[in-house]
Amino acid sequence: MRPESHHNGSLAVTVLVSVGRHPLTGRGRRADQDARAVELARSLTSAEVELLHAGRLDEGSEAALRGYLGMGFDSLSLLEQPVGADVLPAVAESLEAAGPQLVIAGERAEQGEGSGLLPYLLAERLGWPLVSGLAAVEDVTEGVATLLQALPRGQRRRLQVRLPAIVTVDAAAPAPRQSAYGPARRGRLEVQAAAVMDDADLAQWQAQPARKRPKRLKIVKAASARDRFKAAAAKAEGGGGQVLTDVAPEEGAAAIFKLLKEEGVLR
């Protein structure tokens, strides 16, 4: 039997995109994770992809949002929201109205609180399942999506989730394609009015540029003076390693084998 989604044409996908911020220069840009989300959506065959952004339209954000259009989109829906608003109601209402099968978002925003809560709140409000840390969507058949979730160190886990669902991606998802200037310039930003709810909590918090976190000191709690002396006089780590010269290959191999064992990389 043909997949259900193919009967009525295609899989409706909405990607939530935000305005990113370059970590060094602070310039607006495509948010890295959101761009990966768009790339993931683009890689789905027979998917009809919509871009949705909630926020203010100004010169800085427009350049960043056009970055998404440059990935090959004609338009992007923009829910007009003032700075410091809670975008949850606006986005949720928009999704309820549009009724996509799959919503893809980046894990966290690069500006504002950046708590990564929005997808969870949306999932809770819409009553949809949520899967985080996606690496790929393998297949969508009969309303069930087979997903690959990224585990640390390149490992993957296969999951199945019933649609409609929300999935989030992070740096393990495929790298986004280049944003081309031409489509970015031509694409339309379709501004829609939406309900506004102030984020009262956020206004109360004090925000300041991130301080460098203090490096944790190695505190040696030793019972005896000798142990304390040894700890203080111990060789600093990384100050030149062990060099084996004039050894038989077997000896060298044994030393490497020991290190690999200690590090636990041999399976």
Interface with another protein, residue 207, by CB under 8 A: yes
Interface with another protein, residue 252, by CB under 8 A: yes
Between the CA of residue 22 and those of 19, 209, 211, what are the distances in Å? 10, 14, 17
Question: Hey, is 189 helix, strand or coil?
Answer: strand
Kindly tell me which of 98 and 244 has the beta carbon lying closer to another protein.
244
Site string for another protein, 157-196 (x = CB under 8 A): xxxxxx--x----x-x----xxxxxxx-xx----------
Kindly tell me which of 99 and 114 has the beta carbon lying closer to another protein.
114
Interface with another protein, residue 233, by CB under 8 A: yes
Q: Are 87 and 191 in contact (CB under 8 A)?
A: no
Q: How far apart are the first and last CA of the chain?
A: 42
Q: Is 68 left (phi over 0), alpha (psi -120 to 50) or beta?
A: alpha
Interface with another protein, residue 16, by CB under 8 A: no
Query: Which helix H or strand E contains 37, and what residues bound it?
Result: helix 32-42
Question: Nearest CA to 189 among 33, 54, 82?
Answer: 54
- Cβ 193 to another protein shortest distance, Å: 26
Residues 6+ apart with CB under 8 A from 120: 130
Window 25 to 44, contacts with another protein (CB under 8 A): 25-27, 29
Q: Read out DSSP for 117-159?
A: -HHHHHHHHHT--EEEEEEEEEEEETTEEEEEEE-GGG-EEEE
Interface with another protein, residue 53, by CB under 8 A: no
Looking at 44-52, 97-105, 190-198, 238-246, which segment touches another protein (CB under 8 A)?
238-246
Q: Are strands 75-80 and 188-192 parallel, antiparallel or unpaired?
A: parallel
Interface with another protein, residue 115, by CB under 8 A: yes
- Cβ 233 to another protein shortest distance, Å: 5
Q: Which one of residues 46, 70, 103, 189 is an interface residue with another protein (CB under 8 A)?
A: 70
Interface with another protein, residue 83, by CB under 8 A: no
**Residue 261: both structure tokens together:** 């064992």
Q: How many residues bind another protein (CB under 8 A)?
A: 101
Looking at 38-46, 92-100, 112-120, 187-195, which segment touches another protein (CB under 8 A)?
112-120
Q: Are strands 19-21 and 130-141 parallel, antiparallel or unpaired?
A: unpaired
- Cβ 170 to another protein shortest distance, Å: 7
Q: Which one of residues 92, 126, 148, 196 is an interface residue with another protein (CB under 8 A)?
A: 148
Window 91 to 110, contacts with another protein (CB under 8 A): 108-110
Interface with another protein, residue 220, by CB under 8 A: no
